[in-house]
Each structure stands twice: as structure tokens, then as C-alpha cells.
Amino acid sequence: MRFALTVLLLCAGLLAGCGGMPKPQIDSRKPVADQTLARVAIVATNYDEAWDKENVRLRIHQVWLNDAGVPTNKEQVIDQPYNGKQGSNRGTIKMKESDGDSTSWVRLTFEIVSGENAQNENISAGTTVEWKLPSGLAQKDMLLVAVLSRSAKNNYKIDVVYGMNPETGEIEQVLPSSNES
């Protein structure tokens, strides 16, 4: 866990500027109204060659509920492979409720998937979180930094996920959230 925190602080320091260093001039892609663009970077706390062989991926879905609290729609936001180009794929989080009204609350499902192909894939970790995006991250081009670890063969866990605005360096912890038990 200390390694993950060190990596995150290093990233934040580089983006926010250290000491006398100037802040980076990042021209992010601007999303359309009621959308937040999301990219994912994955950090492994105990990497070995099995991560590549097992084709580890972090998959994020957005889920909408009806008035009775039953899921009515699920849409994939991103499917980021660990051995892929980190942060290169963009997904879209829609900042709308199931009835079409604008909102800053989103329900996201995070899953760690491994396996050589869809026929033998394994979901080794998964959780759903309801997250109120702060104004610094809502309707922006956001980077999600996911810290994952391997607990056994073909079995992975989500240690922590942070949402970061690369233009400002603003960071918020998404997982584990304060409302999880």
C-alpha cells in the first residue's frame, strides 16, 4: 500500500509541479455537456510476468437504476488492459440520470477481468460505487489511476482507485469509498 501511495504522490507532484517547476500546460479534450471523459492508468503493486500472460484488464461500466432501485441499463465505459498503453483509451461517463436529467452522481461498476479470451475470462474482483464527481472532475477529461494487486493465480484485487484532473492535479479517492462497508 505504501508503494501505491508513493506512486500516486509522485504522479501528483509531477502534474502539480514541484518546488520551482512550472505547472504543465495540458490541453485536454473538452467533453460535450453532461459528459466526463475518462482514461485509466493501472499500477501493479506486485507485478510479475503472469500479469501479461493472464491478460489482466480493468473494466468499468456505468449503471442506471429505475425509481425502485433496480438496474435498468448498463453501458461499458472502458476496458483497459494492464499491458496496453496506459491512459490511451478514452471512455465517456454520462452525467445524466436514467430519466435524462443532468446529475453529478454516477454509479460505476469496477471489475478486474483476466483470461486469454472471452470464453475463459475470470472476474476476480468487482464492486459498484455511487460517486459524486467533484466540480473539478465533472465534465472534464479525467484520469482514473487504479492500483491493483495479484493475490493468487488468475486472482486479482482492486486496492484503490483515484480520479485525477490532469490539468489541475486535483485528486479524489473513488475506491474504497467512505460508504463501503
Backbone angles phi, psi at 83, to 5 degrees: -90, 15
- Secondary structure (3-state) at 41: strand
Give Cβ neighbours of residue 69 (< 8 Å, ≥ 6 apart): none
pLDDT tens-digit series, residues 35-82: 999 999 999 999 988 888 888 999 999 999 888 888 889 999 999 999
- Secondary structure (3-state) at 167: coil
- Residue 150, amino acid: R
Task: Read off the C-alpha cell for 52.
Answer: 501479461
Q: Taking 70 as the threshold, does the pLDDT of residue 12 lie above it? A: no
Q: How far apart are CA 168 and CA 136, in angstroms?
A: 8
The DSSP 8-state label assigned to residue 162 in this structure reads E
pLDDT tens-digit series, residues 139-155: 999 999 999 999 888 88
